[in-house]
Amino acid sequence: MKPYREMSKDELAQQKAELTKQFEDAKAMGLKLDMSRGKPTSAQLDMTMGLMDVLNSDSDMMSMDGVDTRNYGLMDGIIEAKHLMADVMSVPAENVIVYGNSSLSIMYDSISRSMTHGVMGSTPWCKLDQVKFLCPVPGYDRHFAITEHFGIEMILIPMTPEGPDMDLVEKYVNEDPAVKGIWCVPKYSNPQGISYSDETVRRFAALKPAAKDFRIYWDNAYAIHHLYEDKQDQILEILSECEKAGNPDMVYEFCSTSKITFSGSGMAAMASSPANLADVKKALTLQTIGHDKVNQLRHTRYFKNVEGMMTHMKKHADILRPKFEAVLSVLDKELGGLGIGEWTRPLGGYFISFDAMEGCAKAIVGKCKEAGVVLTGAGATFPYGKDPKDSNIRIAPTFPTSEDMAKATDIFVLCVKLVSVEKLLQA
C-alpha cells in the first residue's frame, strides 16, 4: 500500500470507510487487553520461586563477614549484597549503598533530601526561588512525577538515537545555576530502548555545571535486561568517566532487582562517589537502622554472583523476546511504508516507543480503549503529562502473552490507521 500522505482525498475516504468497518468488527469482539503495564509476567516470577527455598529454619543467617542479618544495623547493606549490586552497575563495591526494595524510593529520597538539606552543604533547594531539572523526552513518567511533586521546573530535552540532545544539555547545565539535575535512563531507556553512546556518556562526564549541586540521576534500571544474546547494548561506566573528567561527585546512580527477581521484594542500590555517599549517610542514619538484610542474604545466596544473575536474565529474555517480536512483526507488516508512524526496535528493556503523526496519540489511545485495548495514557512519557506534539505512545509488551500482544497490536495498528486517515482528511 502507498504512503497515506500520497493518497488522494477519495482514496483516504475509501480507506476510512474500510477501517471504520474493521474497527466496528473489532469492537464487537469485546476484547480486554492491556499493553500499558511495564511489569514482569507471571512466568518470569515463577522462574524465581527458587528464591523462596534459599533460606529455611536451619540456615546460617550470618553474612560473609559475620553480621547477623536478622538483627538491627548495617545501614548500607551486607558486604556480599554490595558486591553483587556493584557488579550489576560495574562499579566498585565501596561506591554502593544497598537499600530496600525500591530504587524509585531512593530517587524520591535523593530529591527530598536535596530539598530540605541541599547537596554536600549547598543551600537546601526549598530555600531557592527556582530549581530546574532537565527531562529527556520521551521518558519515564514516575521520574517526572517526583520532580513535579517537589515543584521543580522541568525542561524538555529531546532524545536522539545516541541519547539526550547533548548540545542542549550542555547549554542548560553549564549556563544555568538553577539546573540541579537531569533524569537519565542510560541503557534501554524507558520508553524508547535507546542506549547512550560512548560519546554521549563522555559529554555527560565532561559537563561543567553552573550549579555545584548539580547531579546526574542515572537510573540504570535495565543494566542487564537484554533481549538477545548476540545483540546487546553496552554503555560506558559513568562514575569512572566522571572521575576521569574531574567531576567525581556529579552522579547518583540507581538500580534494583525489581525486574530480576520479584518486583516488590527485591533489593535496590545507589552508587556514587565517597563524598556523595557520606552526604547521603548523614541523613540515612536517621532514617533507618538498616534495610532488609535477610532479603539481601537471600538474593546473594540465590544468585551467588552477577554471572548467576546474567544466566537467570537469559531465561527472562526467552520469555520476553517473543512478545517484543510479536508486536514488531505486526507493526512492520501493517504500518511499514505507510508513513503514519515510527517505532523503536530495542535490544533490551521493557518498552517499545511509537511515534504517531503529530496530534494523533491521544486519539489513538482513545480508539484503542473503545476497542478494549488499554495503552499507557498519551502524554505520560512527558513532564506534566503533556506531549507537545501529541505523538508518543509507550507500548509495554511484557505482561500479556505473546498471542494477546499480537491481538492487541492488531487493534493498535488499526486505530493508528483510522486516526491517521481522519487526521489527513481534516488537513
Read off the DSSP letter of residue 216: E
Spatial contact of 404 and 33, defined as CB atoms under 8 Å apart = yes
Q: Which of 70, 171, 314, 333 binds a copy of itself (CB under 8 A)?
A: 70
Closest approach of a copy of itself to the CB of residue 186, in Å: 21
Q: What are the cell numbers at 302?
A: 540465590
Q: How far apart are the C-alpha atoms of 217 and 119, rounded to whole Å?
A: 13
For the chain, the straight-line distance linking the first and the last C-alpha, in angstroms and rounded, comes to 21
Question: Residue 174 or residue 401: which is nearer to a copy of itself going by CB?
Answer: 401
Q: Does 228 bind a copy of itself (CB under 8 A)?
A: no
Q: Does 384 bind a copy of itself (CB under 8 A)?
A: no
Closest approach of a copy of itself to the CB of residue 129, in Å: 12
Closest approach of a copy of itself to the CB of residue 253, in Å: 19
Q: Does 374 bind a copy of itself (CB under 8 A)?
A: no
Residue 236: burial class (beta carbons within 10 Å; 0-12, 13-18, 19+):
middle
Q: Does 55 bind a copy of itself (CB under 8 A)?
A: yes
Question: Residue 10 or residue 58: which is nearer to a copy of itself going by CB?
Answer: 58
Question: Residue 6 or residue 58: which is nearer to a copy of itself going by CB?
Answer: 58
Strand partners, 183: 217
Q: Which of 2, 5, 9, 72 binds a copy of itself (CB under 8 A)?
A: 72
Q: Which of 104, 156, 166, 211 binds a copy of itself (CB under 8 A)?
A: 104
| Total Cβ atoms within 10 A of residue 73 | 10
Long-range contacts of 29-33, Cβ-Cβ distance < 8 Å, separation of 24 or more:
29/371, 29/372, 30/372, 31/371, 31/372, 31/373, 31/407, 31/408, 31/411, 32/372, 33/372, 33/373, 33/374, 33/400, 33/404, 33/407, 33/408, 33/411
Q: Which of 49, 65, 231, 426 binds a copy of itself (CB under 8 A)?
A: 49
The region of 40-48, 230-238, 332-340, 345-353 touching a copy of itself under the rule CB under 8 A is 40-48
Spatial contact of 134 and 182, defined as CB atoms under 8 Å apart = yes
Question: Residue 51 or residue 335: which is nearer to a copy of itself going by CB?
Answer: 51
Contact positions with a copy of itself (CB under 8 A) in 277-336:
283, 286-295
Question: Residue 15 or residue 296: which is nearer to a copy of itself going by CB?
Answer: 296
Closest approach of a copy of itself to the CB of residue 399, in Å: 9
Q: What are the cell numbers at 91?
A: 562499579
Which residue shows C-alpha cell 482513545? 366
| Total Cβ atoms within 10 A of residue 424 | 18
Contact positions with a copy of itself (CB under 8 A) in 116-145:
116-117, 124, 126-127, 142, 145
Q: Cα 369 from chain centroid?
A: 24
Binding site for a copy of itself (CB under 8 A): 39-40, 42, 45, 48-50, 52-53, 55-59, 61, 68-74, 100-102, 104-105, 108-109, 112-113, 115-117, 124, 126-127, 142, 145-146, 149-150, 258, 262-265, 283, 286-295
